[in-house]
Structures are given as structure tokens and as C-alpha cells.
Amino acid sequence: MRIVTGTYRGRRIPSGNSLGDIRLTSTRLKEAVFSMLGPDLDGQTFLDLCAGSGQIGLEALSRGATVELNEPDRRRLSQIRSLLYEWRAGVAALHSAKAQALIPSVASENRRFDIIYADPPYHARYAGSPLLLGLIEALGESTLLNEDGLFFAQHQTELSLPESSGRLLRTQQRTYGNTALAIYQLA
């Protein structure tokens, strides 16, 4: 896995057994997301709620965004931290919280983001439902997304996401093989 463009273009992101049981975002989907966002994210704030390998947040960092990464698995977070050190790159913050706990915590600090990306493990559950549904609900009730911000929700195609939730309205839905990407904005 490599960074596609920007300051860290061509740099490798480890993606082997050291990450454990992790599903990586396809190059096609990653390129589609960043094609929508454009090559220059200078001045944009970006929150990767479920970083995993860090590939989405690190791509945003390479394109100039101020990035915060969240990964509750300490081994994966340590690998991201080591990679940032090796690249001599910095992010605004590294979090190791469960995504559903991070949302109200960061929102209570009156912080906002231009872009929020969530790709939780497909099997993860919260309150008896798929974790992503809980994250959409929590983000819809929070003030984390800026007025013109975008929330990207990556999920398996079988999961039906709501058209709206609280302040969020789904504006696009795209399919990439067995993965889908829903894009939400403030209603």
C-alpha cells in the first residue's frame, strides 16, 4: 500500500500480518474519495475515526490536511506512530479511543472538522447494531462536522444506511465492488 500523491507520495504503509485482522480500503475506493476532495487539502481539518492501518488519514496528511487519527487497537496505533516518526511527519492528534466514545469527547471541546471518515470493522457492533449505524447517529447529534463539511461512511454493500440522521443528510451513495461509500453533509 502506498501514498498516491502529495508530500509523502510513494511512501509505503505496512499492511501485512503485523496489523492483525484488518480489511484494507481498495486503491480504487481511496482514489475515488480523494478525487472528490481534490489534490490539495491545505487548511482542511480531517478526522479518521477508525484509522486501522492509517492509509486514509495519512493520504489526507500527504495532501496538506491537518489530520487527527483514531485507532483503538494500541498495536496498530503504535505502528502509525512509528510510521509518522520515520517520515518525520506530524498529525494534530493520535487517539486510542473507541470511535463512539471519541465523538462526544472531541465535540465537548467544541472542535470541528471539514472532513470525517469512518470505516469501522464490518463485524463491529454497538448497542446491538452495526457500529457504523451508531457512529452515524452520534455524528448526526454532534457538532463535529463543519457547516460545509463532508462525512464519508465506508461500509459493506449489504448494510443499508439511513438517508438522514439528526443533522446529517446522505447526499451520495456509490458502490465499489462489495464496498459502498455514503457521503453525508449537514442538512
User: What does the pLDDT read at residue 1?
Assistant: 82
- What's the CA gap between 50 and 15, in Å, rounded? 15
- What's the CA gap between 180 and 151, in Å, rounded? 14
Checking DSSP bridges between strand 125-126 and strand 129-130, what pairing results, if any? antiparallel
- What's the CA gap between 109 and 85, in Å, rounded? 27
Task: Answer whether 179's CB lies under 8 Å from 29's CB.
Answer: yes
Low-confidence ranges of the chain (pLDDT < 50): none
User: What does the pLDDT read at residue 24?
Assistant: 73
Long-range contacts of 71-77 (CB under 8 A, 24+ apart): 71/95, 71/96, 72/96, 72/97, 72/98, 72/99, 73/20, 75/18, 75/19, 75/20, 76/19, 76/20, 76/22, 76/51, 76/52, 77/51
Domain boundaries, the chain: 25-186
Backbone angles phi, psi at 2, to 5 degrees: -130, 155
User: What does the pLDDT read at residue 29?
Assistant: 85
User: What does the pLDDT read at residue 19?
Assistant: 55
What topology does CATH give the domain 25-186?
Rossmann fold (3.40.50)
Q: For residue range 78-119, list pLDDT tens digits in order.
A: 999 999 999 999 888 999 999 999 999 999 999 999 999 999
Intra-chain end-to-end CA distance of the chain, in Å:
35
